[in-house]
Chain A
Amino acid sequence: MRQRGYAPPILVVPALIGLAFLVLPLAALVGKVEWSTLWADITSAEALDALRLSFTTGLVATAACLILGVPLALLIARAGGRLASVLRAIITVPLVLPPMVGGLSLLFLFGRAGWLGWTGWQIPFSTVAVIMAQAFVALPFLVLALEGALRTSGVAYEQTAAALGAGRWTIFWRVTLPLAGPGLLSGVILCFARAIGEFGATALFAGNAPGVTRTMPLAIYTAFNGAGVTQASAVALSLLLLVTAIAVLLLVRAWRPNAPSAQTSVEGVG
């Protein structure tokens, strides 16, 4: 028996309008695709540049997020109490912040006139800046997803492993991370998706130089804002991003149900 509840039936009208509002624009995008020239559009020099740049920077940014994010998630998950709440709130800020503001902030830290300007590092408007902008907006996704999983799995299994003679690194690799595996995986996928789609922070901090900082979202924007990229290429790239997004969703969904039920209880003492 399906539970239909007691909602007023008329509410189905705004519900369907809302659904259409989300779906129709994407359908329109797909409708705009020139299927006959799709392959040529995607493999045009500008599109290919953007594609290559997006995937390499996205992958490097995700790797950087892993290296920094896993320890950060562990730190928060094991901090406990108020400290954990504060840290979690800090992590969430970049998540809800308009990416433009993030890009501006990065500029004020790493730019020539910024806090770290004295170092002489030439970071802004380089490919490194693209990666940093992506990592800045994507890191919270990985940290929050993994932190939740780590907190849920607790330390009881780690204690068991320690009593069996495992050292800290062995416990980390063979117990802690595998137990948080599903959370880590969805965190990585979300992180990569967010990095690939990054626009605002990249535009401000890295600019829009073809082949250097012009990722797919910037290429799409450029196409409708002047020269450099054809509109057909922009549509083709948009389609590619849409397909990527759907693939990411399916990946996350496909893994979640198989997640081993995490044991939350920590054996009490006393």
Chain B
Amino acid sequence: MSGATLDARVGVDRGRYTLEAEVHADAGEIVAVMGPSGTGKSTLFGALAGFIPLDDGFVHLDGVTMDAASGPHVAPRDRGIVLLGQEPRLFPHLTARENIAFGPRSRGTARATARADAEVWLERVGLGGLGGRRPSELSGGQQQRVALARALATSPRVLLLDEPLTSLDPETAGGIRALLTEQLNETETTALVATHDAADAASLASRLVILEDGRVTQTGTVREVLDAPATPFITIIAGTLPKDDRSSLLARVVQVDEGEGSVAALARTADGAEVVLQLPIGTAIAPGATITIR
């Protein structure tokens, strides 16, 4: 079980809003996609999965065309690209075990085999013994674990994770992050992970793609990108990552103002210098938080 090489140039034109992004992931590689809210990450993933038609470009898996503006258009079910969103979206009428067995069953695996495999997956994501529970009887973190197992049980050629940790509390998110790293590496699944958090990108992915206003503004290994930010946005996310070099300054956020189109955070360093950071709207930042300025 291992992932495919993904090569895509996704062009989606929605009049006022256009997305024109190139992404590449080697087989088994995990690539993080970061960008301000509303920059097109979900559109990109929707197009890769086949739910949003391409106006331009192509999606290649192992060199085979899955989608192109001029055709062909391989149906989502035949691509082997599985999208796992912020919402686990477990089928509410099925148990955890049946949810995990759903994909293999749909692809013709015998019921008994699919169930036995589901049981193994439940163990792997740390939910052994909870297979009989309905999603409503599971916590948010447990649901996300089932969703991950359900996605991996189909042996996806590419797994798209759209902010899988955003709706979870920090402690739960930490557990899922560790699980993701472990399972994605173990199964050698090719994965794109959209995230707001540079720490997630750094811990999960080997490469980073920055998407701003529907365009890729920088791409490279996570270190390359964060060490040499090409845009103000990347500078900010790089700043949220803990650094061990001493050239950086620690500052405490003292005031946060939600403005039009951005969040202004006033931060003060230990020796009294003040700096105002313009952060993308929706950035979770509160007075009292410590940030690193390089």
A-to-B contact residues, CB < 8 Å: 156-157, 159-167, 170, 174-175, 178-179, 181, 260-261, 263, 265, 267-270
Contacts and interface: CB of A to CB of B under 8 A. Distances in A.
B93 A170 contact: no
Contacts of B82: 163-164
A267 B52 contact: no
Contacts of A175: 91
A164 B102 contact: yes
A260 B43 contact: no
B42 A268 contact: yes
Given A160-B91, A178-B91, A181-B93, 12 more contacts: A157-B89, A159-B51, A161-B91, A161-B102, A163-B82, A163-B83, A164-B151, A165-B107, A263-B89, A268-B42, A270-B42, A270-B43
A23 to B, nearest CB: 38
Contacts of A260: 92-93, 136
Interface centre among A156, A160, A162, A181 (most CB of B within 10 A): A160
A166 B109 CA distance: 12
17 contacts: A159-B76, A160-B83, A161-B91, A162-B77, A163-B51, A164-B82, A164-B103, A164-B154, A166-B77, A179-B93, A260-B93, A260-B136, A263-B89, A265-B87, A267-B42, A267-B87, A270-B38
Interface in B17-74: 17, 38, 40, 42-43, 46, 49, 51-52
Contact of B49 (A163, A181, A265): A163
Contacts of A170: 106
A261 B93 CA distance: 10
B246 interface: no
Nearest to A177: B93
Interface of B: 14, 17, 38, 40, 42-43, 46, 49, 51-52, 75-78, 80-83, 85-87, 89, 91-93, 102-103, 106-107, 136, 150-151, 154
Nearest to B76: A162
Contacts of B14: 270
Contact of A160 (B80, B81, B89): B89
Given A269-B46, A270-B14, A179 B92 contact: yes
Nearest to B39: A270
Given A260-B136, A269-B43, A166 B92 contact: no
B154 A165 contact: yes
A163 B77 contact: yes
A165 B75 CA distance: 9
B51 A165 contact: no
Nearest to A179: B93
Instruction: Summarize B's interface: helix, strand, loop or mixed.
Output: mixed
Contact of A164 (B40, B106, B136): B106
B77 A167 contact: yes
When A and B form their complex, which 9 residue pairs have the shortest distance between CB atoms, in order from nearest? A164-B103, A166-B106, A178-B93, A162-B76, A269-B42, A165-B107, A269-B46, A165-B106, A260-B92
A181 B77 CA distance: 24
B147 to A, nearest CB: 9
Contacts of A162: 75-77
B106 A161 contact: yes
Contacts of A181: 93
Nearest to A260: B92
Given A160-B89, A270-B17, A166 B102 contact: yes
Contacts of B75: 162
B154 A269 contact: no
Contacts of B136: 260
A158 to B, nearest CB: 10
Nearest to A170: B106
Contacts of B46: 269
B44 to A, nearest CB: 9
Nearest to A167: B77
Contacts of B38: 270
B192 to A, nearest CB: 14
Contact of B91 (A157, A159, A165): A157
Nearest to A262: B92
Contacts of B154: 164-165
Contacts of B151: 164
A171 to B, nearest CB: 8
Contacts of A166: 77, 102-103, 106
B85 A267 contact: yes
Contacts of B91: 157, 160-161, 175, 178-179
B272 to A, nearest CB: 42
